[in-house]
Amino acid sequence: MLRGRAAHDPALETITEVEVETDRATVRSVSGDGSMPTYYEYRLVRDDGRWRICQLLQFLDPPGVPLVDPAEAEAMLSSASLDAALAELPAHVGLDVASLFAHGRQVALFGETVWLEVVHLGEVTCGSGVLTVRDFGYRAFDLAPLARRLPAGTYPVEVSTAAGTNVALRLLISAAPAVTWHPAKVAGESNIIGVDAGNVAILDLATLVRCDAQRVEELFQVHSLRLLDAAGAVFSLTGDVDDAVMVTSGYGDGAYPCYWGVADDGTIASLVVDFLVLDEDTAHARD
């Protein structure tokens, strides 16, 4: 019988720190050398007098390393503004958000008739008013805010699904209906959100940049597992308030447009990420 190499070998993995508190313990280690070491955190519980591993986390960064440099974080936050100009929706893009979120509507998916379900995921607090929309697995890579800053507040978030596939994600900024739609551009970039880990997250950027890299990696690992059994997950980046939401991005990896819905009085009413599942509601949105 062929046997694979063990994932963890005491001869190759060095314990760097041990913390014990009553019946719980944390053991940190590092494996490998050179430019690409891997960091581990074992979380243990004492059960019937014996220590047992209850959770194992793997990290690319060592403990305590900030997600981004503080000066870089400040520059990101200051690049978003309440009066950032909103671009016009290109004439060739047809967008029917009301249909994307029409609960109970019949739609065709893989040749079958299914029904849209709009799931309320909870509420997300953005104390800074600065949001970032991204693949949460990217960590600090290409991190940037949406150019338009919101008033600080707590906003409901919902996802539209069809037969277990997420169709669109929406953050409701106000109760007013959106009468026009505009690309929600990342500062200095487009409104297209690149995805390589099958998810899209909306996060309070000011809280995110206060996290260390291992904290963000842990949250990604934990909530990725939650998405196996749920349409989305609302959670806290620092343990204070729920300031993040993460959902499966439609069929998975790709590039997805993000839009601001604007009310009749000119205020922002909603933020929508379209996963391009229902082509009839997003004609030519990939162009």
Last residue of a domain, one of 59, 81, 97: 59
Query: How high is the mean pLDDT of the chain?
Result: 91
Nearest to 57 by CA among 41, 44, 36: 41
Alpha helices (H) in 61-151, listed in sequence order: 70-78, 97-100
Q: How far apart are the first and last CA of the chain?
A: 52
* pLDDT in the model for residue 287: 40
Q: Which of 53-62, 134-143, 159-168, 225-234 comes out lowest in average pLDDT?
A: 53-62
Q: What is the mean pLDDT of residues 172-201?
A: 94
> Residue for token digits 């979120």?
101
Whether 212 maps to a domain, the answer reads yes
Centroid of chain to Cα 285: 22
* pLDDT in the model for residue 280: 59
* pLDDT in the model for residue 284: 44
pLDDT exceeds 60 at position 285: no
Question: By residue range, what is the domain housing residue 26?
Answer: 13-59
pTM score = 0.88
* pLDDT in the model for residue 276: 94
Same domain, 27 and 128: no
Q: What is the mean pLDDT of residues 168-177?
A: 96
* Between 194 and 12, residue with greater pLDDT: 194
Report how many domains make up the chain.
2
Whether 18 maps to a domain, the answer reads yes
- CA 171, 176, 182, 184 dihedral sign is negative
Whether 32 maps to a domain, the answer reads yes
Q: What is the mean pLDDT of residues 195-217?
A: 96
Helix (H) or strand (E) holding 223: helix 213-226
At 80, list the tokens. Answer: 């978003």
